[in-house]
Amino acid sequence: MADWEYFGCLRECRGRVLQRAVCTAGAGASLSENFNAPHASLSENFNAPNASLSDNFNAPHASLSDNFNAPNASLSDNFNAPNASLSDNFNAPNASLSDNFNAPNASLSDNFNAPNASLSDNFNAPNASLSDNFNAPNASLSDNFNAPNASLSDNFNAPNASLSDNFNAPNASLSDNFNAPNASLSDNFNAPNASLSDNFNAPNASLSDNFNAPNASLSDNFNAPNASLSDNFNAPNASLSDNFNAPNASLSDNFNAPNASLSDNFNAPNASLSDNFNAPHASLSDDFNAPHASLSDNFNAPH
38 lies in the same domain as 130: yes
202-218 residue pLDDT tens: 776 666 666 777 766 67
What H or E segment, with its residue span, contains residue 5? helix 3-12
Q: Which residues contact 44 (CB under 8 A, 6 or more apart)?
A: 66
What's the maximum distance between 2 C-alpha atoms anywhere in the chain? 88
| Any domain includes 210 | yes
| Any domain includes 157 | no
| Any domain includes 18 | yes
Q: Is 3 helix (H, G, I), strand (E, B) or coil?
A: helix
88 lies in the same domain as 208: no
**Residue 217 lies in domain:** 162-303
238-254 residue pLDDT tens: 777 666 777 766 666 66
37 lies in the same domain as 131: yes
Spell out the per-residue pLDDT of the chain, length 303, in tens.
444 443 443 333 333 222 222 223 344 456 777 778 787 777 777 887 877 777 778 878 777 777 778 787 777 777 787 777 777 777 777 777 776 777 777 777 667 777 777 666 677 777 776 666 777 777 666 667 777 776 666 677 777 766 666 677 777 666 666 777 766 666 667 777 766 666 777 776 666 666 777 766 676 667 777 666 666 677 776 777 666 777 766 666 667 766 666 666 677 776 666 666 666 666 666 666 766 666 665 666 666
- For the stretch 76-103, what's the b/e string if a residue is b when 16 or more beta carbons lie within 10 angstroms of its beta carbon? bbebbbebbbbbeebbbebbbbbbebbb
54 lies in the same domain as 123: yes
167 lies in the same domain as 108: no
How many whole angstroms separate alpha carbon 218 and alpha carbon 85? 34
Last residue of a domain, one of 78, 111, 146: 146
| Any domain includes 248 | yes
54 lies in the same domain as 6: no
CB atoms within 10 A of CB 178: 27
| Any domain includes 107 | yes
How many whole angstroms separate alpha carbon 103 and alpha carbon 75? 11
Number of domains the chain contains: 3
Q: Are 122 and 141 in contact (CB under 8 A)?
A: no
How many whole angstroms separate alpha carbon 48 and alpha carbon 42? 10
| Any domain includes 156 | no
Q: Are 72 and 95 in contact (CB under 8 A)?
A: no
166 lies in the same domain as 293: yes
pLDDT at residue 20, rounded to an integer:
25
36 lies in the same domain as 90: yes
pLDDT at residue 5, rounded to an integer:
42
pTM here?
A: 0.59
190 lies in the same domain as 288: yes
172 lies in the same domain as 303: yes
89 lies in the same domain as 137: yes
| Any domain includes 280 | yes
Of 193, 187, 137, residue with least CA distance to 161:
137
pLDDT at residue 135, rounded to an integer:
74
| Any domain includes 194 | yes
Bridge partners (DSSP) of residue 29 are none
94 lies in the same domain as 220: no
